[in-house]
Amino acid sequence: MISSENLFDRARRVIPGGVNSPVRAFRSVGGSPFFTKSADGCRLITADDRELIDYVCTWGPAIHGHNHPKIRQAVAEALEKGTSFGTPNPYEVTMAELLVELVPSVEKVRMVNSGTEATMSAIRLARGFTGRSKIIKFAGCYHGHVDSLLVKAGSGALTFGNPDSAGVPAGFAAETIVLPYNDETALREAFASNGEDIAGIIVESYPANCGLILPKPGFLQTMREICTSSGALLIFDEVMTGFRLALGGVQEVEGIKPDLTAMGKIIGGGLPVGAFGGRAEIMDCLAPEGKVYQAGTLSGNPLAMAAGIAALQLLKEEMPYNRLADAGAQIRDALLSAAKGKGIPLQVPQTGSMFALFFTENTVENFDHATSSETGHFKTIFHRALEAGVYLPPSPFETCFISTAHDKSAIDRTCEVLTASFNF
């Protein structure tokens, strides 16, 4: 057996930080990451032969749990025919037809290889379509590691962003206006002073990358109205929420049609896939039809499409959303009552199979509320739960995910473990 410790030692010599995506390194909770050698259903098997009930679900994609037999079979069948063709293939057509059928605002769609590519391409398209340059984003929303979107809030509501990352020229970030989420006044002011220059708003329809933040009633509607009246495009980043809360994502739940939608995660069935789609008139501005360039050697890859199609068809067949929401509510209630029993202030925003923990008295409505909540308790609970066989995301600012493979005994066990972890 090669232990996680041994693997991490080797990894750190040849991979920056030992990981291929930063949050995997456990820096936000302390300690060293475990390595996973296999996964099945709701469980990960670590390199050290521990079994963990998994609430990261590969950061969202694994809504059917790990290694689902139908997805595996679909990939195996596609594999028999070859791994990549470089020409159009039949799977791409089926995938596009499914996305157009299921996502209310999507009339045409293009496949890419990650969520980052989807948001990056969507904002390029919004700029190309409108002939405008500025993009509004909200503090705390993550849209992948796109240069101009790696910007959070400056001091005031209308400050032009400063890059969060070294290597992003200030000029790129200057085209991004960062606003606080759930602040209608700031949104109106931004359009009042920059309206003519704003190509679009990009928003995580339910922000789920700084814990989980839900919109105040009417906030998304207001965004829709302002965009329509000013000629800017509304881009929903549903990379996380798409197919997670309903087949049609937040746009179906809220009854709001964005102009463009970025997708990813679940639509790949565990393989690297992203997509962006929207109104045909806008999508037809893409090359070769139009003047906005966008391309990808492996886009629409047959193995990835086969996995994604199987994942989406399973969701259509099973319609698991009520069942998933019940499990989410059960865990939320267990957490809230454990905290109450200890007199610890806790918020558990939960919708469907997504939930997060904020150790604070008040409802978290934006990034500042989220980042000012207490984080020490989360770290303690994270490590205690992990010790007891329950793997929560290794950061107080990530969302927990439940899959259809989390059966009653896994959920009950999780509630027990989490309750016992509240022993401060």
Ligand X SMILES: *Cc1c(COP(=O)(O)O)cnc(C)c1O
Q: What's the rounded Cα separation, in Å, for the pair 277 and 260?
A: 6
Segment lying near ligand X (by CB under 6 A), choices 46-54, 140-148, 302-310, 320-328: 140-148
Residue-by-residue DSSP string for 162-210: -BSSTTS-HHHHTTEEEE-TT-HHHHHHHHHHHGGGEEEEEEESS--SS
Q: Can residue 116 be called a binding residue for ligand X (CB under 6 A)? A: yes
Is 237 a catalytic site residue?
Answer: yes
Q: Can residue 414 be called a binding residue for ligand X (CB under 6 A)? A: no
Tokens matching residue 137: 């984003």
CB of 264 to ligand X, least distance (A): 5
Is 291 a catalytic site residue?
Answer: no
Segment lying near ligand X (by CB under 6 A), choices 142-150, 216-224, 226-234, 284-292: 142-150
Chosen residue from 143, 332, 377, 406 binding ligand X by CB under 6 A: 143
Q: Can residue 119 be called a binding residue for ligand X (CB under 6 A)? A: yes
Strand partners for 134: 198
In angstroms and rounded to an integer, the radius of gyration of the C-alpha atoms of the chain is 21
Q: Can residue 142 be called a binding residue for ligand X (CB under 6 A)? A: yes
Q: Can residue 130 be called a binding residue for ligand X (CB under 6 A)? A: no
Q: Which one from 55, 206, 265, 321 is the annotated catalytic residue?
A: 265
Residue 413 belongs to what H/E stretch?
A: helix 408-421
Q: What's the rounded Cα separation, in Å, for the pair 91 and 98?
A: 11
What residues have CB less than 8 Å from 359, skipping those under 6 apart? Answer: 344, 345, 346, 347, 373, 374, 375, 376, 377, 378
CB of 81 to ligand X, least distance (A): 26
Nearer to ligand X, 394 or 421 (CB): 394
Nearer to ligand X, 71 or 417 (CB): 71
Site size toward ligand X, by CB under 6 A? 14
Q: Can residue 264 be called a binding residue for ligand X (CB under 6 A)? A: yes
CB 355 within 8 A of CB 399: yes
Nearer to ligand X, 202 or 338 (CB): 202
Contacts of ligand X in 174-213 (CB under 6 A): 204, 209
Phi/psi at 373 (nearest 5 deg)? -75, 160
Q: What's the rounded Cα separation, in Å, for the pair 275 and 285?
A: 16
Is 49 a catalytic site residue?
Answer: no
Q: Can residue 144 be called a binding residue for ligand X (CB under 6 A)? A: yes
Q: Can residue 121 be called a binding residue for ligand X (CB under 6 A)? A: no
Q: What's the rounded Cα separation, in Å, for the pair 304 and 247?
A: 19
Write the binding mask 226 to 245 for ligand X: x where contact by CB under 6 A, - elsewhere. Answer: -----------x-xx-----
Q: Which one from 55, 91, 142, 206 is the annotated catalytic residue?
A: 142
Q: What's the rounded Cα separation, in Å, for the pair 46 and 4?
A: 8
Q: Can residue 299 be called a binding residue for ligand X (CB under 6 A)? A: no
Q: Which residue has the tokens 């010790």?
A: 387
Q: Can residue 61 be called a binding residue for ligand X (CB under 6 A)? A: no
Site residues for ligand X per CB under 6 A:
114-116, 119, 142-144, 204, 209, 237, 239-240, 264, 274
Return the active site residues. Answer: 142, 237, 265
